[in-house]
Structure formats: structure tokens, C-alpha cells
Amino acid sequence: MQRRQFIGGAALATAAALLPLAGGADAAAAGPRRVLPLPLQPGDTVGLVSPSSATDDPIDLQLAAEAMQALGLKVTAGPHLGSRRGHLAGSDAERAGDLNAMFADHDVRAIICVRGGSGAARLLPLLDYAMIRRNPKALLGYSDITALHNALLSKAGLVSFHGPIGSGSWNSFNADQFRRVFFARELVEYRNPSDPGDELVPRQNRTMAIHGGIARGELVGGNLSVLSALAGSRYLPDFSGRILFLEDVGEAPYRIDRMLTTLKLAGALDHLAGFVFGQCSECDPGGGFGSLTVPQILDDHFGPLQIPAYRGAMIGHIRQQFILPVGGKVEMDADAGTLRMLEPVFQ
């Protein structure tokens, strides 16, 4: 789903007015100590929540439950999982209440977001971060769930997971990633699979260095539109010394440039250790006048930083995607196009 309606011109104007507050040393000093979630194993119970948009078809909720059960997990649904208020999956209080309740429920070992869409940022002031920190659990989702990942890291210090939503595709690649990350608790290396098919050289899943080198640090990031809309708020983590990863969908290149400029003007890009760009699906230039391409925009913003950076990772609104620990410590190799966990991401 496009993020355009989420950010809007008003959100950018608000962010610009508050830019001095974003990503500074004071934010880093005030940030909580990192906390790891509970481990997960087959037979455990996971909670299904819908923090953002409502589902268009109730079968999506059934598919999410069946996918978790096929992975060997038990499922409990938030009371308002199927609710609707406009485009949202219930009122802000209902959606935040479901999320807080899942963290507080000692029978629930992890939380799966059924879908993204728009609206998760509305919940951030309503979450009980002190309680969440006392009950750390893995939360999985992507796209609009970026708001939750970054708020949980900045306010509770909790490591969470950017990856498939419950109602999304649970193909063999994604299911294998889930088992390796959550059940086997491997220190995963994230490397795009390369299959040339009947071509002489591979054409799909290629990565390309923006600037070569190796970097280490904690991962932060997610969907660019959602992340840039947090600029100036207390929910944007400090990026200093961290590896930033980004993706987006359905955005014209000039909007990608505008959102990266917002982060740049906020100072959020000044002290990055490294940068990884995933996929910008349906982000081709429109007609009518000339446009920079997304690769050119990435070169403009990240090339001058002279930090390890690459693009093309399997992150984003794509069928097969990496499950990344937001707040986890990793090593990136821009020349090889890889990310690698350095430390366990569960207790």
C-alpha cells in the first residue's frame, strides 16, 4: 500500500519545524539500554494484532492465523483484530490497547502484525513503554510497522523485527527465514540469492555498492516515508554509529529525494556507520518532465558521506524479504552486498 497519504505535505512541514530535535546527542544520552526479546519455539503462543489499516477481506485474518499455525505456533487474536474505523483497524485506543495487552500477557511469546497500511504512528503516545520493557517480546512486521519498530527501540530499547506481515506471503524463503531467526536463533547472514536462470549472468536480486567498505553497528530504519514522518519527534532513534536501512513503495523519485533531504536536514544522516537500501517498488519516474532516478538520488545523499553503503538488498514490499533485527548488532559489507548478525537477538 502506498505510504503517500501517511506522510503528506503537512507532516513534512511539521517535521521541518521540529528538525533540531531529531537524532541529536541529547536523544542518544536519554535513550534506554537495549533489551532483547524472549526466545520463541514451536508450540509457543503468538498474538495477532492490527495496529494500522483494517483488512479489506476477513480471509486475511484467517490466512495470518493459518500461516502461524503452519509454522508450529499457537495463535491468540487481539480483541479488535477485525475492527474498522474508516481506514483504520479500530480506534486508536482499541489498537493500542490490543498491543499493550499482548505485551502484558505472559502466555504470549511474540507479536505478529497482520498488516501495515497507515495509522501505527497514531498509537505511539498510547503505548506503555515501561511495561513493554518489563515484558520484552519480539514484534514482527514492516511498512507502516516501521513506526512501532523505531518507537520501541527509542522509548523501550527493545529489539524488534522488520519482516513479513501475518497476512503476507509465507513462501518457502520467508518461512525458512522465520525458522532460522526465531526457532534456530542463528546469527544469520543476509545475502541475496543469485540464480541466473537461463541467462549467462544473474539479472535479478543484484546488489550494487554506493561506497565500498565494511561497517558494524546496530540496525535502524524501515520504510522511508514512515521514518521521515517521525523526524522531530521523540520516537525517532538516534542514528549515530548505526547502520540505516530503508525501503519504500509507490513513491516518485522526487518524493524519495524530499524525504531523504528531511532526514539530512534533521542531522540524522551525519554520523551513520553504514547504509543499506532495499527495494523501492513502483518508484519509476513519471512522465511530463525530467527526473532523477532513485539510484542517482541515493548516490547524491550517501556517496558524499564516504561510508559503506549499498543498494538492492531484499528488503521492502517484495514477495521474498529478509527478517532484520531492528536494534540488533550487525556487520555490513557494501562490496559483497551482505549483512550479518554479530550477536544473539534473543535473551
The average pLDDT across 172-194 equals 97
The average pLDDT across 311-333 equals 98
Which is the catalytic residue, given 80, 149, 162, 317?
317
Same domain, 126 and 61: yes
Cα torsion angle, 235, 140, 66, 191, sign? positive
Same domain, 13 and 81: no
* Predicted confidence (pLDDT) per residue in 27-37, tens digit: 344 579 999 99
Calpha distance 13→191 (Å, rounded): 38
Exposed/middle/buried for residue 287 (C-beta within 10 Å: 0-12, 13-18, 19+)? exposed
Residue 322 reports pLDDT greater than 90 = yes
* Predicted confidence (pLDDT) per residue in 127-140, tens digit: 999 999 999 999 99
What is the model's pLDDT at position 54? 95
Residue 19 reports pLDDT greater than 70 = no
Same domain, 237 and 324: yes
Determine, yes or no, domain membership for 36.
Answer: no
Same domain, 121 and 14: no
What is the model's pLDDT at position 22? 41
Residue 102 reports pLDDT greater than 90 = yes
First to last CA, the chain: 34
* Predicted confidence (pLDDT) per residue in 40-79, tens digit: 999 999 999 999 999 988 899 999 999 999 999 999 999 9
Last residue of a domain, one of 146, 167, 183: 183
Residue 144 reports pLDDT greater than 70 = yes
Residues spanned by the domain of 88: 45-183
- For residue 45, what is the DSSP state? E
We report the CATH number of the domain holding residue 63 as 3.40.50.10740
Q: Which of 316, 346, 311, 318 is nearest to 332 (CA)?
A: 311
Same domain, 280 and 314: yes
We report the CATH number of the domain holding residue 255 as 3.50.30.60
Which is the catalytic residue, given 80, 160, 167, 247?
247
One-letter amino acid at 84 equals: R
What is the model's pLDDT at position 50? 97
Which is the catalytic residue, given 50, 53, 118, 143?
143
* Confidence label for 105 from pLDDT (cuts 50, 70 and 90): very high
Same domain, 333 and 195: yes
Determine, yes or no, domain membership for 334.
Answer: yes
Same domain, 68 and 171: yes
* Comparison of pLDDT for 124 and 25, the residue scoring more: 124
Last residue of a domain, one of 183, 203, 223: 183
Last residue of a domain, one of 162, 183, 204: 183
What is the model's pLDDT at position 342? 98
Same domain, 200 and 307: yes
| Residue 252 DSSP SS3 | coil
Same domain, 51 and 126: yes
Residue 24 reports pLDDT greater than 60 = no
- Of 203-207, 246-250, 268-272, minimum mean pLDDT range: 203-207
What is the model's pLDDT at position 288? 55
Determine, yes or no, domain membership for 301.
Answer: yes
Q: Please, are residues 235 and 150 in contact by the beta-carbon 8 Å criterion? A: yes
* Confidence label for 2 from pLDDT (cuts 50, 70 and 90): very low
- If you average pLDDT over every residue of the chain, what do you get? 91
Determine, yes or no, domain membership for 39.
Answer: no
Residue 25 reports pLDDT greater than 50 = no
* Predicted confidence (pLDDT) per residue in 295-310, tens digit: 999 999 999 999 999 9
User: Can you list the alpha helix ranges (DSSP code H) found in 116-244?
Assistant: 129-134, 146-151, 172-178, 224-228
Residue 21 reports pLDDT greater than 70 = no
Determine, yes or no, domain membership for 174.
Answer: yes
Total domain count for the chain? Answer: 2
Same domain, 198 and 172: no
* Comparison of pLDDT for 335 and 11, the residue scoring more: 335
What is the model's pLDDT at position 3? 46
**Which residue is listed with cell 499455525?**
69
Determine, yes or no, domain membership for 239.
Answer: yes
* Predicted confidence (pLDDT) per residue in 88-99, tens digit: 999 999 999 999
247 is catalytic: yes
Task: Please state, for a pLDDT cut of 90, what percent of the chain lies above it.
Answer: 84
Same domain, 202 and 169: no
Determine, yes or no, domain membership for 80.
Answer: yes
Residues 6+ apart with CB under 8 A from 54: 83, 84, 85, 87, 88, 89, 90, 117
Determine, yes or no, domain membership for 35.
Answer: no
User: Can you list the alpha helix ranges (DSSP code H) found in 220-323?
Assistant: 224-228, 253-265, 294-302
Q: For Cα atoms 156, 162, 166, give the angle at the middle one, nearest 5 degrees.
A: 110
Same domain, 315 and 211: yes
What is the model's pLDDT at position 287? 61
160 is catalytic: no
